[in-house]
Amino acid sequence: MTEWKPDIASRRGRRYLAIADALSDDIKNGLVRPGDRLPTHRELAYQMGLSVSTVSKAYAEAVRRQLILSEVGRGTFVMPNAWTDLSRIGVDSRQIEPIDMAFNCPVPTPMLIEAVSGSLKMISSSDRVDELMHYHRPWVGLPAHRAAAANWIEKRGLRTSPENILITNGAQHAHAIILASLLEPNQIVVTEELTDPGIKFLTANRSLQLKGLAMDQDGMLPDALEAACRTMKVKALITVPNHHSPTLTIMPVERRKAIAEVAIRYGVTIIEDDVYGPLLENPPPALSSFAPEQSFYFTSLSKCISPGLRIGFLAAPPGRVEELIPGLGATTWMVSMIPAEIATIWIRDGSAERLVAWQRQELARRQKLARQILIGHEYRALPSSLHLWLPLPATWRAEGFVAQARSRGLAVTPAEAFVVGHVASPQAIRISLGGATPSRTELQRGLEIVADLLRERPAATYLVL
């Protein structure tokens, strides 16, 4: 381990930033070298007479600047290539934007811009502007918006009616409303063993105990749910049955029935996150349709049309929408009415379905490009999925792969980001093919970087660590 002790005596400002700046300079000046292992947070805090949390913040800042990399159980290392190649040609690595294949979002299309400007014109010349500018109690959404939402959800395989609907600021907001309204700290919530980081964040934020359940190629295993319910007081189940992220499983109908049956038997509330469902042309019936009395279903327009509208639709079981009002009020009172009005116009006049259809086609083209470039490598993908899920060859660990990709200007997500709790992480990466990389040329370049890395072995500096 390097005996690195930064000199921050002459540096002004916040201590953690001073440490990160000192590290950056010391790397540049060759005092610490790529691959060097740095002192632990506790050791450095002790040497410098600072709190451990200050050092942790400094290391987190250095990770953000791509200077170092933390490996669970192994320590903190200076990144391969930190400042070296780039500093020789006088480029600050922090100024280089990577090709972003780490985030799932729809591909922008000129049709979307036209649809937004068309509906804004329509709204501004209508007599509804005044109505849209007020508070509307009981906050759940205007009748017209709830009717359009019920219609949209029915096409996703769940029969519901406008009085069960609550309009939200997207799917993440729907999660937040449900958790805040229905669950108490310390209660147990189960979900797939790999899940969206947003779900992990929200459950932790509400002090819930989140447990991951085993999955197979069809999603969560009913036996795993049953075992959890037998041994613990499971309050709720959060699940993503369509285009599960990151594994891309789609729960078949029989699996949905089996999961619903266990949930009914043990009185477990189902929270069905169908954020990716609209990307499926013919989705199976919603899981909630097999346990309608205890299921909260939601979807949003973020992944299939645009995250910018920030609009989601939540269907509560009959007669239970009122229970969600405390969570809605605590998070936003009510959503902004203009985006809700735009979404309503698009659902009514068919633009929403047309925009989703365009998205499916573009994603199919992008998936085809990925198949051509990653030929010979096994991975999981669907024609309309926003990403692919790539288990790595035995020579690679996911964090090392991600660090190497990053040093070549590509951002992808390691499996670790999705792991629930302390179980071992699979060695796999999620590669997003959607609109975070709007240009196909860039997408191709990003995929070629992945293909090159898969052909190579991890860089020597990484193996030496």
Residue with tokens 């973020």: 302
Which residue in 71, 278, 50 sits closest to 158, CA to CA?
278
Which residue from 81, 119, 181, 300 is in contact with ligand PLP, where contact means CB under 6 A? 300
User: Residue 245 interacts with ligand PLP (CB under 6 A)?
Assistant: yes
CA angle 219, 220, 221 (to 5 degrees): 115
Using rule CB under 6 A, residue 106 touches ligand PLP: no
Q: How far is the CB of 447 from ligand PLP (least distance, A)?
A: 21
Rg of the chain over CA atoms, in angstroms?
24
Among the listed ranges 129-137, 165-173, 183-191, 390-398, the one in contact with ligand PLP (CB under 6 A) is: 165-173
CA distance 460 to 327: 52
Is 240 a binding residue for ligand PLP by CB under 6 A? The answer is yes
Dihedral sign, Cα of residue 248, residue 253, residue 258, residue 263:
positive
Comparing CB distances to ligand PLP, the nearer of 403 and 428 is 428
The site string for ligand PLP over 179-218 (x = CB under 6 A, - otherwise) reads -----------------x-x--------------------
Report if residue 302 touches ligand PLP, rule: CB under 6 A: yes
* Amino acid at position 163, single letter: E
Least spacing, CB of residue 259 vs ligand PLP, in Å = 17
Pairing assessment for the beta strands 413-414 and 428-432 based on DSSP bridges: antiparallel
- Closer residue to ligand PLP (CB): 84 or 299: 299
The total of other beta-carbon atoms located within 10 Å of residue 416's CB is 19
Q: Are 419 and 74 in contact (CB under 8 A)?
A: no
SS3 of residue 371 by DSSP = helix
Footprint of ligand PLP on 303-322 (CB under 6 A): 307, 312
Of all residues in this chain, which one has the CB nearest to ligand PLP in the complex?
170
Taking CB under 6 A as the binding criterion, the range among 166-174, 180-188, 213-221, 406-414 that sits at the site for ligand PLP is 166-174
Please give the size of the binding site for ligand PLP, defined by CB under 6 A: 13
Q: Which is nearer to ligand PLP, 157 or 339 (CB)?
A: 339
Closer residue to ligand PLP in complex, CB, 24/203 = 203
For the CB of residue 307, give the shortest distance to ligand PLP in the complex, in Å. Answer: 5
Under 8 Å between Cβ of 291 and 323: no
Q: Of 259-288, which residues contact ligand PLP (CB under 6 A)?
A: 273, 275
The continuous run of DSSP H or E covering 256 comes out as helix 253-266
Q: Is 164 among the residues that bind ligand PLP (CB under 6 A)?
A: no
- CA distances to 94, 374, 408 from 33, rounded to whole Å, are 18, 33, 18
Q: Is 162 in the site for ligand PLP (CB under 6 A)?
A: no
Q: Buried (b) or exposed (e) across 26-65, using 16+ Cβ within 10 A? A: bbeeeebebbbbbbebeebbeebebeeebbebbbebbeeb
The interface region with ligand PLP, picked from 81-89, 133-141, 170-178, 452-460 by CB under 6 A, is 170-178
* Binding interface with ligand PLP (CB under 6 A): 170-172, 196, 198, 240, 245, 273, 275, 300, 302, 307, 312
